[in-house]
Structure 1
Amino acid sequence: MGGLRVGDGASAAGLDVGFGIRNGTSLEGLAIPAPWCNPSSDLNEDEDVLAMLKGSQFCKIRSLKWRKARFYRLQEDGLTVWFQRRFRHPKSHHVFFLQHIEAVRQGHESEGLRRYGSAFPAGRCLTITFKNRRKNLDLAAATEEEAQRWVRGLAKLRARLDAMSQREKLDQYPFFLNFLTWIHGYLHQADSDHDSKMSFKEIKHLLQMVNVTMDDMYAQQLFEECDSSKNERLEDAEIEEFLRRLLKRPELEEIFYRYSGEDRVLSAAELLEFLHDQGEEEATMAQAQHLIHTYELNDKAKQHDLMMLDGFMMYLLSPEGAVLDPAHKDVYQDMNQPLSHYFISSSHNTYLTQSQIGGASSTEAYIRAFAQGCRCVELDCWEGADGEPVVYHGHTFTSKILFRDVIQVVRDHAFSLSPYPVILSLENHCGLQQQSTMAHYLRTILGNMLVTETLDGKIPKELPSPEQLKGKVLIKGKKQIVHQKEEPRSDLPDEDKEDELKVWGCPQEWGSWDPGLTISPCPGNNFIRCNTYQLCRVYPLGLRMTSANYNPQEMWNGGCQLVALNFQTPGYEMDLNNGRFLVNGKCGYVLKPDFLRHRDTTFDPEHPGAPQTTLIIKVLTAQQLPKLNREKPNSIVDPLVRVEIYGVPRDCAQKETDYVLNNGFNPYWGQTLKFTLGAPELALVRFVVEDYDATSFNDFVGQFTLPLYSLKQGYRHIHLFSKDGASLSPATLFVHIQIKNQ
């Protein structure tokens, strides 16, 4: 059973170990250097950034009545924005991180500002959206110039952050950016008297906050070894030394020394040997040299194509050392096949932000879905007041949004992440007059984006490809049958009175079936064969009051393309969806396996054949797992790791490690989990970390899901996500992966 693992802080060839702090780094005031404060940066004297450092007062807007004055200021670290909630309570300070920002929009470009910001000129308004489920930040500045400064400044800082090379990040930060932002707040909190010195009591408090329970005698010994001044306080370099020892990675050192030999320096040839053993058989000497020049910190070592321990650790913690194959991060699949040959990321009840009974409907939900790579969104369309169709969950207490506002969001945001076609799945409950209004908005707002005829004007033999439909919007829906006589609107052009919704086919309903009983409502594999040339949309039953989801894997096994989920409902189902579409550039289209694309396929998910692939995962360690109960400093997680396989029924399995008592900072397991698979092309692998509880269900800590064929073999770090899909950086798992094909 693994416990806390810290070493003696020794350096390899004069370099600090771990992603430790290099000599000479000052932690005076526990500040972090800004990403723009080096001589080569073009932001040192940027007027927008300097104005943000001084701060600005904004009006935060939530409703017509809720408007509060807030003071926002960019912190000197260049990574966070500090804000004060209540001017009467000066201790009410909070921050948000630039790396968590999804987008910054100027003007009335959010639903909140369109509804409640009319009292402020559009030029003074801005909206900050975040990558996690945090609410939008709608603000009004005192002047238009001030709003523009923040919009431009945030854009420059975020662009600079994204564009920085790995080398620049290593040069500018004593240790990794994400770890800095993570540990920075804890150091401030633990320093209870704010004197930038840490007593033993404060150090113990820090350990508890970062998820470590350490034996008092061992903690006291480590504290005294670092207290070189012998004044019972750690400061500056002493704090650095304590953190350096805390951050040691013995398991990485062991791997490094195994390949580097007695000199404890990795040559390019030795690094190449490591890469080959990792399963990267095609790696070349040039690639090994490139890794050295990218991640090595010591200039003399780089000049001689040598890698020290620090550089090796940096490499393993980089995207190139992660479990996801870097080649799969971009669009790498053939995008010229018919639409029916792809799994397509699809949302159900897209307009909802909460439950389908009384939750809020919002156009922001569409924006977030598009930001996640969703390519098929749903609009439940109903008769609205003043002749305006509305979107909401009919016959419930969910709020309503205008159909035209949704279409405007489609126009403005549908292709923000992916250039490939978007499908609007219309559930039409409107009469003829408001149907005509809908058609009018579709044509006038979407313009040339809207597909209204086949690509060449001829009857096609097969569906077009994603490549052919780049930047296009398709309509999927059924013409509403109206029993009473209605006159079409006379104020619309004749072209909008015509029947839309029939370019490549007409939708038909198969009805409901229980996916737990059979994969298909048709005999044999006829259903799978149908899905090789036509699209099939699957969605949750309307009786799911909590907007719960189903397991999408069962439908993917049958070749269904549009497996729609409630994106607003976190859970393993959405983890699987996010994992399925994590690859191929997150473009929302993933090519189905070959055996799901041929019309004469004989594939049967119930009988995929004998296992052909063995997956062996050795779970080694975890790093900096988040605390689950921040209100209780003494509450430490007891982590275990479970690996789950989702695929055809025969391949589905899960296995887990033992739990480690009282250590979420750097627990060690060293346990091997083994799986056999018959249809690895369909399989998803989900890594889950939980907090063990002997008397109740385990608590979720973090997870990461990806297709089995996107796994990189060898020693890999897994960067974890929260329940709602947000990054838990710097929380990671460290594993060894081996895939054997018979």
Structure 2
Amino acid sequence: QYSGRRLMVWASLQGDDNLQSMLVGTVMRKIKSRTWKKQRYFKLQDDCMTIWYKMLRSPSSSGLIIKIWLNDVEAIREGHQSEVLLSIADEFPADRCFTLVFRSRRSNLDLVAESAEEAQSWIKGMRKLIESLENMGEREKLDQYPLLRKADKNNDGRMNFKEVQDLLRMMNVDMNEHHALRLFMMADKSQTGSLEDDEFVLFYKMLTEREDILRVFQEYSTDGQKLSQSDLEDFLREEQLERGDVHQHAQQLIEGYEPSDTAKLLKAMTFDGFLMYLGSSEGSIFNPQRRGIFQDMTRPLCHYFISSSHNTYLMEDQLRGQSSVEGYIRALNRGCRCVEVDCWDGANGEPIVYHGHTLTSKILFKDVVNAVLNYAFKVSEYPVILSIENHCCVEQQRVMAQHLNHILGDKLLKSTLEGKVSSRLPSPEDLKGKILVKAKKIGGLEENCNGILGDSFTGLVSDEDEAAEIDEENLHRDSVRRRMKKSKQRLSKELSDCVVYCKSVHFISFRHSQSHFKFYEVTSFTESKARKHLREAGAEFVCHNSRQLTRIYPTGFRTDSSNFNPQEMWNAGCQIVALNFQTAGEGMDLNDGLFSQNGQCGYVLKPSFMRDNEKRFDPDMPQKRDDYQPVVLTIQVISGQQLPKVNIKKDSIVDPLVRVEIHGVPMDQAKQETRYIENNGFNPVWYDTLHFTIHAPELAIVRFVVEDYDKTSKNDFVGQYTLPLSCMQQGMVFFLPGNSCTVRLAAFLKDM
């Protein structure tokens, strides 16, 4: 039944004219730069999951073959939607060009077809295949498991026992040879000494038998063969700790995940259906109810954490790295809502963007603005903030203003809402589809609205570069005034007028900010300055951030584009915590985790005690809150499945352990880990239980890390999954992409 369904899927795909053309293969140009344009032969493979390409000699010639897994393609961009293709726009028309964007950190692939029709054939064909792969159930994917193909050394569609042993090594399992042979012989129904077609599937199913889940299934099954609806309700109530109408939910699960029509008629769930349910998004550790927009989006901007990027144009380090509009595209496609633009005078009167006084490459300001226009609202409709560091002369500032106005048009916020000056910032809901400029501004918002500034062409503003770390709070006020007088920048009125609700100002003190409060003013701190304020006046910092926006950015010493821990800054209520999005690691894991909720829209509502400036929340003493209520979190790490190999040595096998980290206020910072399981990355079983007490659960983020234990050196990183504590679903659930690890989770949670 399963194989028949799979064959029907692929038969319908292969009846498509575009796919037939791709299966035959074609010649396209691979473009790396304006001068590097090489012809390559591209061909869709018969598995309809991979595309191979190689140097153009002849379709049948040998040579280095590059493989593209369609599962790895995140997006297909049509036309001149990359810097490389823009650079050859005068040579190749847009309708022949397209770009493959990959999920990993693999570079984009820019292609030019021989005709517009051929380009469309590949674009439509690949999109159809990707959609089909995304919609395919886990059972349909089994026979396409890539390692099965890779282990078939002679490509004869069969697998002998030697190839099976190689497969086991590839799959990260050190299985006893006698046990492996027993499984092989059980799967070899044809008794030919090799496995093919459905025998592959049978072998894979025996290999991936989930004893831990089978144990739970049989515990709740009345007859040991299936779960009746009543059995399933007991599981949902007792194991998944569900509240509410479990009767209706059980009916929905049977209807949605049970593959057997006979079982459906009996209102029952087989083990296969149970596996499919637990392996779905409903069986994820992430509560499905927190995935969409569920928060109040009508509060002032300063009441939200905002996903923010630092030096967004950089793809690498801060000294010699490449600058690219691709940085903006990637950040915006990840839900980032505040991007940074460092602007300097360029040739021919055109402002450029790069990391000033370094060897990083340069891009045009107008290209950045175009990228923001095209990608600002692809994944989120809520406002985008352009954080502009302006180092340009007045003439090029006017060019910047022209580009902002002409390119962004009515998406650029040029005036206050309804032409009035309010007493607070507008909300994300008020500003849907709008792009705001954060930069220096001549005068205040009130003066601009009242026309007091008139039509003067330029004005003087404080020239305080973000890279400077001047501790003005320790300077005498007259000294501050003298410093400010000495350092002034001329600002064009045209660029100043582009700034409405995000006027960049220099910070003096929390007392000064409170007494001279302007809701539209934004202050910026380096991470080190922010930590100093947090140590000395944590409660005042939180109170300050309940009224106006604060931006935190990495210290200038992070030339490798590394990141600080953003949790410290979120603990103080800082909204715009800017990270180097191009650098993977704990910092970006936490950022992705926090903003994985609320529709991944880039805005997360701060806890109520951080929004009310009458309440004094001190991150160092969360127990002094009026509504203090700690949470006890219990996690039992049960098992792992098909963990990837991290060591390139042929015979290496992972010795996995799981570490659970709590990131939150200082009292909540904690780490615990399981035992390591020796020589089994395929199906390790732990059943280790970890306990945590969390004092500020609304701010807590939980990070699961899987590592390969090493006695003599640092453990190798295998994978991680991060999410807010408030988004965790109780019960028997999975974490890590591909449902790689099973945990049993219980938390005494209040309504967050």
Report Cα offsets for 1:412-431 as digits up to 9, x if no partner. 11111000000000011011
How many Å apart are 1:606 and its aligned residue? 0.3
Q: Which moved more, 1:99-108 or 1:234-243?
A: 234-243
Q: Is the Cα–Cα contact under 8 Å of residues 161 and 184 in structure 2 kept in the other structure?
A: yes
Matches of 1:512 and 1:145 in 2, distance apart? 52
Q: 1:194 to 1:160 in 2, by over 3 A?
A: closer
Match for residue 499 of structure 2 among 498, 501, 506:
501
Paired AA for residue 738 in structure 1: A
Q: 1:498 to 1:704 in 2, by over 3 A?
A: closer
Aligned residue number for residue 440 of structure 1: 402
Aligned residue number for residue 182 of structure 2: 221
Q: 1:712 to 1:215 in 2, by over 3 A?
A: same
Aligned residue number for residue 243 of structure 2: 281
How many Å apart are 1:481 and its aligned residue? 6.0
Aligned residue number for residue 678 of structure 1: 695
Matches of 2:743 and 2:45 in 1, distance apart? 36
Matches of 2:354 and 2:675 in 1, distance apart? 47
Paired AA for residue 268 in structure 1: Q
Q: Is the Cα–Cα contact under 8 Å of residues 61 and 117 in structure 1 kept in the other structure?
A: no
Report Cα offsets for 1:645-702 as digits up to 9, x if no partner. 0000000100001111111111111100110010000000001000011100000000
Q: Is the Cα–Cα contact under 8 Å of residues 624 and 731 in structure 1 kept in the other structure?
A: no
- Quick check: 1:568 aligned with 2:582? yes
Q: Which moved more, 1:602-611 or 1:708-717?
A: 602-611
Aligned residue number for residue 646 of structure 1: 663
- Quick check: 1:345 aligned with 2:307? yes
Paired AA for residue 320 in structure 1: E
Matches of 2:123 and 2:415 in 1, distance apart? 40
Q: Is the Cα–Cα contact under 8 Å of residues 34 and 76 in structure 1 kept in the other structure?
A: no
Aligned residue number for residue 633 of structure 2: 615
How many Å apart are 1:534 and its aligned residue? 0.2
Match for residue 56 of structure 1 among 3, 7, 26:
26
- Quick check: 1:137 aligned with 2:109? yes
How many Å apart are 1:485 and its aligned residue? 12
Aligned residue number for residue 468 of structure 2: none
**SS across alignment from 1:636:** coil
**SS across alignment from 1:419:** coil
- Residue identity over aligned pairs, in percent, reads 47
**SS across alignment from 2:250:** helix
Matches of 1:327 and 1:484 in 2, distance apart? 52
Q: 1:81 to 1:428 in 2, by over 3 A?
A: same
Report Cα offsets for 1:545-590 as digits up to 9, x if no partner. 1111100000000000000000011111100000000011100000
Q: Is the Cα–Cα contact under 8 Å of residues 222 and 231 in structure 2 kept in the other structure?
A: no
How many Å apart are 1:63 and its aligned residue? 1.3
Aligned residue number for residue 301 of structure 1: 263
Aligned residue number for residue 5 of structure 1: none
Q: Which residues in structure 2 correspond to 1:297-696 (within 5 Å)?
A: 297-479=259-441, 496=494, 499-503=497-501, 505-509=503-507, 511-512=525-526, 514=528, 518=532, 520=534, 523=537, 525-609=539-623, 612-629=630-647, 631-696=648-713
Q: 1:121 to 1:605 in 2, by over 3 A?
A: same
- Quick check: 1:127 aligned with 2:135? no
Q: 1:531 to 1:522 in 2, by over 3 A?
A: farther
Aligned residue number for residue 9 of structure 1: none
**SS across alignment from 1:195:** coil
Match for residue 94 of structure 1 among 66, 71, 82:
66
Q: Is the Cα–Cα contact under 8 Å of residues 526 and 553 in structure 2 kept in the other structure?
A: no
Paired AA for residue 459 in structure 1: V
**SS across alignment from 2:534:** coil
Aligned residue number for residue 479 of structure 2: none
Paired AA for residue 660 in structure 2: V
Report Cα offsets for 1:504-548 as digits up to 9, x if no partner. 655334655637965527635111111011000000011211111
Match for residue 77 of structure 1 among 39, 42, 47:
47
Q: Is the Cα–Cα contact under 8 Å of residues 657 and 674 in structure 2 kept in the other structure?
A: yes
Q: Is the Cα–Cα contact under 8 Å of residues 640 and 685 in structure 2 kept in the other structure?
A: yes
Matches of 1:602 and 1:323 in 2, distance apart? 33
Paired AA for residue 573 in structure 2: G
**SS across alignment from 1:327:** helix
Matches of 1:74 and 1:24 in 2, distance apart? 22
Aligned residue number for residue 241 of structure 1: 202
More helix by share: 2
- Quick check: 1:151 aligned with 2:123? yes
Aligned residue number for residue 65 of structure 1: 35
Matches of 1:298 and 1:366 in 2, distance apart? 47
**SS across alignment from 1:738:** strand
Give the TM-score, by structure 1 length: 0.88
Cα-Cα RMSD:
2.5
Paired AA for residue 242 in structure 2: E
Q: 1:524 to 1:731 in 2, by over 3 A?
A: closer
Matches of 1:687 and 1:93 in 2, distance apart? 37
How many Å apart are 1:446 and its aligned residue? 0.5
Q: 1:24 to 1:454 in 2, by over 3 A?
A: closer
Q: Is the Cα–Cα contact under 8 Å of residues 295 and 311 in structure 1 kept in the other structure?
A: yes
**SS across alignment from 1:239:** helix
How many Å apart are 1:142 and its aligned residue? 0.7
Matches of 1:45 and 1:236 in 2, distance apart? 22
Q: Which residues in structure 2 correspond to 1:713-724 (within 5 Å)?
A: 713-720=730-737
Matches of 1:497 and 1:94 in 2, distance apart? 48
- Quick check: 1:734 aligned with 2:742? yes
Matches of 2:237 and 2:489 in 1, distance apart? 72
Q: 1:249 to 1:113 in 2, by over 3 A?
A: same
Q: 1:653 to 1:641 in 2, by over 3 A?
A: same
**SS across alignment from 2:733:** strand
Q: Which moved more, 1:331-340 or 1:609-618?
A: 609-618
Q: Is the Cα–Cα contact under 8 Å of residues 436 and 502 in structure 2 kept in the other structure?
A: no
Matches of 1:497 and 1:137 in 2, distance apart? 37
How many Å apart are 1:36 and its aligned residue? 5.5
How many Å apart are 1:108 and its aligned residue? 1.4
Matches of 1:156 and 1:113 in 2, distance apart? 24
Q: 1:77 to 1:620 in 2, by over 3 A?
A: same
Q: Is the Cα–Cα contact under 8 Å of residues 644 and 655 in structure 1 kept in the other structure?
A: yes
Aligned residue number for residue 153 of structure 2: 192
Report Cα offsets for 1:65-112 as digits up to 9, x if no partner. 322222223334333323235647625333323333222222212111
Report Cα offsets for 1:219-241 as digits up to 9, x if no partner. 23333343445443333443333
Q: Which moved more, 1:697-706 or 1:611-620?
A: 611-620
Q: 1:497 to 1:419 in 2, by over 3 A?
A: closer
Structure 1's unaligned 5+ residue stretches are 1-21, 27-31, 490-494, 721-729
**SS across alignment from 2:537:** coil
**SS across alignment from 1:223:** helix
Q: Which residues in structure 2 correspond to 1:3-82 (within 5 Å)?
A: 33=7, 35=9, 37-38=11-12, 45-82=15-52
Q: Which moved more, 1:275-284 or 1:329-338?
A: 275-284
Q: Is the Cα–Cα contact under 8 Å of residues 436 and 501 in structure 2 kept in the other structure?
A: no
Matches of 2:129 and 2:191 in 1, distance apart? 42
